[in-house]
Amino acid sequence: MSESTTPEQIQLTADGQLRHFLTTEGLPKALLTEILDTADSFADMSEQQVKKVPLLRGKTVVNLFFEASTRTLSTFELAAKRLSADVLNLNISTSSTKKGETLKDTLMTMHAMHSDMFVVRHSDSGAAHFIASQVTPDVAVINAGDGRHAHPTQAMLDMLTIRRHKGDFAPLRVAIVGDILHSRVARSQIHALRTLGAGEIRVIAPLTLLPRHIESMGVKVYTDMSSGLRDVDVIMMLRLQKERMESALLPSESEFYKLYGLTNDKLAYAHPEAIVMHPGPINRGVEIESAVADGPRSVILNQVTNGIAVRMAVMSMAVSGQQAQRTQNQENDR
């Protein structure tokens, strides 16, 4: 890697089109809105008989998953197929890296296959940035989750879900609840919400599950649900990994559930029309009560549906951004 690249520099073409989607941080509001608008049009399409468009015909999308995933991988696969791309799924967590192959070697091998897009999930923060810095200029990189850093497509499907239910972001109070410390989803949500102009962003968690300087990201910090959820319009729950008990971050699942689990009782603190979201997979009885997850305020299944539309939007925009960049480069070469 050469000079330190800011998120917008590496993600955008010279004329401001999306070419990689690595993080929601630093992208202009107009571009995030364009992603949502494009996704909206794809969402309408998926309700029709023929669900396919030829936008990525002849393109090869490689899903490079260094970390296990079922739902993110399958929605990316479905999104690519609906755009008529050829899709290759590579689950690398179990193969090459265990044989000592470096990420750089794996990338060079993938490169030789002449694919047009890498969708990458990796357990190291910054892995997607690293990959984007290593690939040739005509390969688009979409971050499907890197460490604790970013999960931008998840955040954008959350934004689409909020916009479809609530309309304008400006008057909204949004609370993100749970394991903020380990959450790439929370970080991407916060950047996206700020850029889209959400009125107030809160995080609610015990201090052990909050990064030390989280308030520097422009959020209000709460450590209890009764004040944190007061009058909020959107509640975004996070998944609690079972390993957290072992690393002395929490005494027990039951104590966490008692204090931070979203139950109908606690939901009553929020605005009467508040919606409840969760990136899945949910731990019933750990961070959310079944009655809430399956209740009338839950939009969890809408999130899944919107996930396909958002991924189609991002993939098609990145491919056209790459094409625009290539045309520009050719013109410059002349």
Partner 1 sequence: MNILISGGRVIDPAQGIDRVTDLYVSNGQISAIDNAPEGFQPDEVIDARGQVVCPGLIDLCAHVREPGYTQKGTIARETAAAASGGITTLVTPPSTRPIVDTPAVAELIQDRAAEHGLARVLPMGALTQGLGGEQLAPMHALAGSGCIAFTNTRKPVTSTLVLLRALEYAATHDLLVIFQAQDGWLSAHGCMHDGATCTRLGLNGIPEAAETIEVARCLMLVEQTGVRAHFGQLSCEHSVRLIDAARSRGLRVSADVSIQNLLLTDEAVDGFNADYHLMPPLRSPLDRAGLRQGLVTDTLQAICSDHQPHEAIAKQAPFAATEPGISNLETLLPLCLQLVDQQLLGMSQLIEKLTLGPARILDLDEGTLEIGTRADVCIFDPEQRWTLRAEQMRSGGHNTPFLNRELKGQVTTTLLGGQVVFRR
Which residues sit at the interface with partner 1, rule CB under 8 A? 1, 3-7, 10, 25, 102-104, 122, 124-127, 129-130, 134, 146-150, 184, 187, 211-214, 216-217
**Residue 148 CB, nearest distance to partner 1 (Å)?**
3
Amino acid at 126: G
Cα 127 from chain centre: 15
**Residue 129 CB, nearest distance to partner 1 (Å)?**
5
Query: How open is the CA angle 192-146-3, to the nearest 5 degrees?
Result: 85
Quick one: 211 or 280, whose CB is closer to partner 1? 211
Element at 131 (helix H, strand E): helix 127-134
**Residue 176 CB, nearest distance to partner 1 (Å)?**
14
Compute the distance between CA of residue 146 and CA of residue 111 in angstroms, rounded to an integer: 20
Residues 6 or more apart whose CB falls under 8 angstroms from that of 258 comprise none
**Residue 175 CB, nearest distance to partner 1 (Å)?**
18
Quick one: 80 or 196, whose CB is closer to partner 1? 196
**Residue 255 CB, nearest distance to partner 1 (Å)?**
23
Quick one: 5 or 94, whose CB is closer to partner 1? 5
Task: Enter the tokens of residue 122.
Answer: 């990796």
Quick one: 32 or 83, whose CB is closer to partner 1? 32
The side-by-side arrangement of strands in the sheet containing 275-277 is 220-222, 200-204, 173-177, 234-237, 275-277
Instruction: Specify whether the CB–CB gap between 120 and 128 falls below 8 A.
Output: yes
Quick one: 50 or 248, whose CB is closer to partner 1? 248
